[in-house]
Amino acid sequence: MADQRPFYITTTLPYVNAEPHIGFALEIVQADILARYRALRGDEVFFNTGTDEHGLKIYRKALEEGKSPQAYVDEYAEKFRGLKEKLGLEDGVRFIRTTDAHHIAAAQEFWRRCEKNGDIYKKLYQIKYCVGCELEKTNSELVDGRCPLHPAMQIETIDEENYFFRFSKYRDALLARYGAAPAFVAPESRLNEVRAFAERGFEDFSISRLAEKMPWGIPVPGDSAQVMYVWFDALINYISTLGWPEDAASFERFWGSAAHPNAVQIAGKDNLRQQSAMWQAMLLSAGLPLSRQIVIHGFITSGGRKMSKSLGNVINPYELVDAYGTDAVRYYLARHINPLEDSDFTVEKFKEAYNADLANGLGNLVARVMQLAETHLEGDMRYRESAPPPGYGEAIEAYEFNRALDLVFARVQSLDQAITQGEPFRVVKQDLERGTRMIADMRQELYAIGQLLAPFLPAASSAIAEAVRENKKPPTLFPRR
């Protein structure tokens, strides 16, 4: 077992300008798998998620719907908060909103520290801007004059006086970090991508907007005519959730120190630059430790095409859970979606995997083993803990959740074959002692499988453990669909 220690993990905070989608469900399930795995090891886990509620996109959407920005974000934040239960997240997960009073105060203190360090200045400027990304864009980043990530949105031109952050100041320090810690960004291809971005040179970026044009934001300390813009607000949630700056003990325990960084951040590939470069430079400016690792996952496409409302191919995780159950959705995201690269999702593929792997596979195995146990074994099981298969923990630590589940389901298949080939239901009639020993061993193996599933399928894992303890066949875990 690895050394036990505090473990901090966070997702990004999705904008509350649309319904939750399957791409964010992937991210939050991946984080929960890691949180559960580390908690099962005995580590003290702090798991953070929440909602990003300021910015131009949200302000405009609220106006479109005839609502105040606060009423708009309150409504949508609850839809994301509901994912905690819908996706079976562990009980202790922290849900932060960037409109929380403490977060607002923390963001303003963070600003003051960077300003004191000489890294915030004001200037007149004109830029091309993608509202979808909430990022400035150079001509080289555009395709036919549009952002490739948001081709349906017009690139806007911003011409005003705002505050800027001296991003350029931290290029060399971050290049040194990328070189010294090759696991700082995973997978390696994403580290190479952000290193190439840094080698081209950092451009200082705007961190405020005129309140008269975009009032929905946190007021800039000492200048009520400006509001903080997006990244200088939202990214601070990773530390404000820990009680920073007042709760130094919590911050140091979970975020870590410069010598021993502790924070793991999970993000989509469209957040690579923000998480592994911009945020890290901001931390350096504020005199705070860097993150330990940034884990970047890919996009989920549908039928080979990027999900979008206009194409009608957006997958709603609420609807999927309602149809198939929480563990089924968690299972598919963990095993059949590549954890670090783009993957395709269709309901047809999902249903096929559900019936083959869960209904006819795991669910049927549980029913077979526990029917034998209930019929032929007496009393409570004196079960024993067993070691995970070689490579299981290493796969989870490497974020290869699919490989870890491959190992578990290899044991599901082996146990199923053992029942078919060994025929304990016949052996027990011919040789009671040998037959009951076979069934007891199979029950023990089922229990071990259930424990291995705990980070991935928590409800099924608990149901298997309860069935084994009670020596009773449970209700069907995964009915055929």
Region of residue 55 (left: phi > 0; alpha: psi -120 to 50; beta: else): left
- Residue 70 pLDDT: 96
Residues 69/29, Cβ–Cβ less than 8 Å: no
Q: Which of 327, 449, 335 is nearest to 402 (CA)?
A: 335
Tell me the C-alpha distance between 359 and 480, whole Å.
5
Tell me the C-alpha distance between 231 and 121, whole Å.
16
pTM (predicted TM-score): 0.92
Q: 247 φ, ψ to 5°?
A: -90, 80
Element containing residue 53 per DSSP (H, E) = none
Residues 191/163, Cβ–Cβ less than 8 Å: no
Query: Tokens at residue 325, please?
Result: 């159950």
Q: How many other C-beta atoms lie within 10 A of the C-beta of residue 308?
A: 13
Residues 276/293, Cβ–Cβ less than 8 Å: no
Residue type, position 121, single letter: Y
Q: How far is CA 382 from CA 290, 341, 420, 440, 444, in A?
A: 47, 43, 25, 10, 9
Tell me the C-alpha distance between 435 and 480, whole Å.
30
Q: Which residue's entry shows tokens 């719907």? A: 65
The CA R_g of the chain, rounded to the nearest whole Å, is: 25
Q: How far is CA 125 from CA 56, 142, 204, 281, in A?
A: 18, 19, 11, 22
Tell me the C-alpha distance between 349 and 433, whole Å.
44
Query: Tokens at residue 333, please?
Result: 């995201």
> Could you tell me how far CA 220 lies from the centroid of its own chain?
30
Residues 204/167, Cβ–Cβ less than 8 Å: yes
Tell me the C-alpha distance between 318 and 87, whole Å.
9
Enumerate residues 6+ apart whose C-beta is below 8 A from 437. Answer: none
Region of residue 247 (left: phi > 0; alpha: psi -120 to 50; beta: else): beta
- Residue 3 pLDDT: 61
Q: How far is CA 64 from CA 61, 72, 216, in A?
A: 5, 10, 14
Q: What is the DSSP string of 357-417?
A: IIIIIIIHHHHHHHHHHHHH--S-------PPPTTHHHHHHTT-HHHHHHHHHHHHHHHHH
Which domains are assigned to the chain? 6-297 (3.40.50.620), 346-470 (1.10.730.10)
Residues 481/353, Cβ–Cβ less than 8 Å: no
Enumerate residues 6+ apart whose C-beta is below 8 A from 357. Answer: 331, 335, 409
Tell me the C-alpha distance between 358 and 249, whole Å.
44
- Residue 1 pLDDT: 45
Tell me the C-alpha distance between 199 and 26, whole Å.
31
Query: Tokens at residue 290, please?
Result: 């860097």
pLDDT one digit per residue (tens) for the chain, 481 residues: 446 789 999 999 998 988 899 999 999 999 999 999 999 999 999 999 999 999 988 998 999 999 999 999 999 999 999 999 999 999 999 999 999 999 999 999 999 999 999 999 999 987 787 877 777 787 778 888 888 888 888 888 878 899 999 999 999 999 999 999 999 999 999 999 999 999 999 999 999 999 998 999 999 999 999 999 988 999 999 999 999 999 999 999 999 999 999 999 999 999 999 999 999 999 999 999 999 999 999 999 988 887 776 677 789 999 999 999 999 999 999 999 999 999 999 999 999 999 999 999 999 999 999 999 999 998 656 677 788 999 999 999 999 999 999 999 999 999 999 999 999 999 999 999 999 999 999 999 999 999 999 999 999 999 999 999 999 999 999 999 9
β-pair partners for 96: 50
Q: Which of 303, 347, 310 is nearest to 329 (CA)?
A: 347
